[in-house]
Amino acid sequence: MRTAKTERKTAETDITLTLNIDGRGESTVNTGCGFLDHMLTLFSKHGRFDLSVTCIGDTNVDYHHTTEDIGIVLGKAFSEALADKKGVRRYGNAIIPMDEALILSAVDISGRAYLGYKAQIPTEKVGDFDTQLVEEFWLGFVRSSDITLHINMLEGCNSHHIIEGIFKSVARSLKEAVTVDERFKDEIMSTKGVL
């Protein structure tokens, strides 16, 4: 089993996260933000990642630090769980419909952090969650995981559906990319010999 436990404690957040990338999609999530809990729960389910997250954050200010820092910690957990990355397929992609929304994502476990983000979320908030924080979450994730991630909204007009489609699509892309190909389980999928 490829697992990791990561923590981050700052003046703004106190986060503990455990991840099993070879899991069943079970989760326990308590971030202090109901909408973010919902997104991480469905991320776990659709990626078949076992995920436990607890966060005490400065939510009296807003959800910015909580959202960004959880992205950072989740990315770090993926990096640690993947270790030397032997045998992983490396690439993954998914196109996910969520009612009227249609989201494409693509992942490269490349050792190079990059986020391509093209999503026009029509409202500033979903409930009390700032929709611009979706990009901040994935920026934190790619920077700490050294993963290349592209997210493209192809269609959509409902903010909740768009964001939910993003989390589901990325989960499925990541699951494909981290899956070990048994035929090449002792190899690194790079001519450089490292990822």
150 to 55, 119, 129: CA distances (angstroms): 27, 11, 22
58 to 29, 107, 128, 167: CA distances (angstroms): 17, 31, 14, 23
Of 102, 74, 83, the C-alpha closest to 17 is 74
Domain with residue 18: its CATH number is: 3.30.230.40
Say if 58 falls within a structural domain.
yes
Say if 110 falls within a structural domain.
yes
Q: What is the pLDDT of residues 126-152, one digit of tens each?
A: 999 999 999 999 999 999 999 999 999
| pLDDT score, position 93 | 98
Say if 193 falls within a structural domain.
no
Say if 189 falls within a structural domain.
no
Question: Which of 186 and 173 is assigned the larger pLDDT?
Answer: 173
Domain extent at residue 135 = 3-184
Say if 99 falls within a structural domain.
yes
Question: Taking a C-beta distance cutoff of 8 angstroms, is the pair 181, 187 a contact?
Answer: no
The total of structural domains in the chain comes to: 1
